[in-house]
Amino acid sequence: MIPESHPRYRSLVTREQMAAGVRAGIVALEGLTAHGRGEAFDYLLGEETSASAAEAETVAALLLIHARHPVISVNGNTAALCAGAIADLQEISGAYVEVNLFHRTEERIVLITELLEKAGCTVLKGPVERHIPLDHDRGLCHADGIAAADVILVPLEDGDRAEALVQMGKSVIAVDLNPLSRTAQAATLPIIDEVTRAIPAITSAMKKMKSGAIHSEPPQIESRKYLREALMTIQRRLDHVLD
């Protein structure tokens, strides 16, 4: 039992949630180390959404609005952390939701699909094929999902799929707390923010755009700007942390 008065209450509760995700077969054991790496970068970023990440989240909303066939790719960590937020984003964006796993087992696909459906998502099902030229199981995807997508949102993953998807001509929106990661470096639009802050922020930006009937052109994206600004945020924090 973690007392609410604990200064790291939220972080500790999230860790419990991830551990429960492992016990339930949703999160891969390796997902805990990925989470720990994310936590470390979030610490360095001040555990808040920077102005630059907020801008990237608005740009992501615009990309999704202009997408012909948007897909949200969900792995174990993302499902455990924010299944409900994914359902909200699917509702406003009309995006397909596809479960795509690095540590793929049929059992985990079923468990994660059930969790997402319980949260209100409609999840792609049926046969998958190796549409992405990768030697591991992240290459397996649905013909009417990631294979057909023009814009794909990939929250926290390992980088070679993001690279492969960009090479296939797709726009990749990555959510990753590590601005140095291969995913963040390869993405068309890197969002350097924590996934439970980033996904609701994209949803709320889309809601504002839709209610305001904003029909601006699909945005031009300078991806390295968001990486540079995240590194500068970390540098500024380190410069002043002992003051």
Indicate the SS3 state at residue 48. Answer: coil
Distances (CA, A) of 151 to 3, 13, 170: 42, 33, 6
CB of 85 to ligand PTJ, least distance (A): 12
Chain residues binding ligand PTJ by CB under 6 A are: 28, 30-31, 34-35, 37-38, 41, 75-77, 81, 101-103, 156-158, 175-178, 181, 194-195
CB of 72 to ligand PTJ, least distance (A): 14
CB of 71 to ligand PTJ, least distance (A): 15
* Nearer to ligand PTJ among residue 109 and residue 168 (C-beta): 109
CB of 98 to ligand PTJ, least distance (A): 12
Looking at beta carbons, which residue is closest to ligand PTJ? Answer: 38
* Nearer to ligand PTJ among residue 178 and residue 188 (C-beta): 178
* Nearer to ligand PTJ among residue 97 and residue 209 (C-beta): 97
Query: Where on the phi/psi map is residue 173: left (φ > 0), alpha (ψ -120 to 50), or beta?
Result: beta
Whole-number Å distance between alpha carbons of 216 and 208: 13
Q: Which long-range contacts (CB under 8 A, 24 or more apart) does 234-239 make?
A: 234/44, 234/45, 234/179, 237/44, 237/45, 237/46, 238/44
